[in-house]
Amino acid sequence: MDFSREFIALVCELGVLRFGEFKTKAGRLSPYFFNAGLFRDGESLRRLCGYYARAIIASGIEFDMLFGPAYKGIALAAGTAIELARGGRNVPYCFNRKEAKDHGEGGMTIGSDLAGRVLIIDDVISAGTSVRESVELIRAAGATPCGVVIALDRMERGQGELSAVQEVERLYGLPVVSVASLDDLIGFLADSPALAANLDAVRRYRATFGVARAAA
């Protein structure tokens, strides 16, 4: 998808995607690091959520509303709802509190009531904890989780042979849509003279820790 490579170009331009040597939560030395927290002004967030909206539309997933898990998912869900509305699809959105509120309107969520088919919007999937909590919350409200959308799929093995994304897909039976993947990154590096020096390291990392989409 053309927008996936456009997205990779954007994250490289903004320094959201950096190259070097970075230790992951799994203790691996990764040649790249993606930090969605660096989308921290209005224009960059608008552009990011525009890519989320395009990925959602391209996926063909049928949904009724968006849900953003606290904390990073809050801005992502709100921004993506705005971009979808700009494109002619106005949908409600909702996000959760970390702690239940026992005064005022109370409850665990803010925004529209959870109902119908709910699409979860988050930055990445690492251990899958955020997705599990979101799925439980959505189901407890009587709604149906219908998919997860993330910015980057690292396509990297978790504890077993599957990636964190594939584990979520298998465990919950939900499709996971990413704006871009490690394969998109490798393709972009191969065509980018300014960044090509990083290509071999990323390819080696992919060969050592990567998984194929077909394994899902």
Beta strands in 47-183 (DSSP E): 65-68, 93-101, 107-111, 117-121, 144-153, 176-181
Residue 83: phi and psi, rounded to 5, are: -70, -35
Catalytic annotation on 98?
no
Catalytic annotation on 103?
yes
Please compute Rg for the chain using Cα positions.
17
Report whether 124 contacts 37 (CB < 8 A): no
Exactly one of 23, 25, 98, 101 is catalytic; name it: 101
Residue 95: phi and psi, rounded to 5, are: -145, 165
* Long-range Cβ pairs for the range 19-27 (8 Å, 24+): 19/195, 19/198, 19/201, 19/202, 25/126, 25/127, 26/158
Residue 172 three-state SS = helix
Taking the C-alpha atoms of residue 62 and residue 68, their distance in angstroms, rounded to an integer, is: 17
Exactly one of 25, 72, 98, 103 is catalytic; name it: 103
Nearest residue to 122 (alpha-carbon basis) of 143, 99, 144, 150: 150
Give catalytic residue positions. Answer: 101, 103
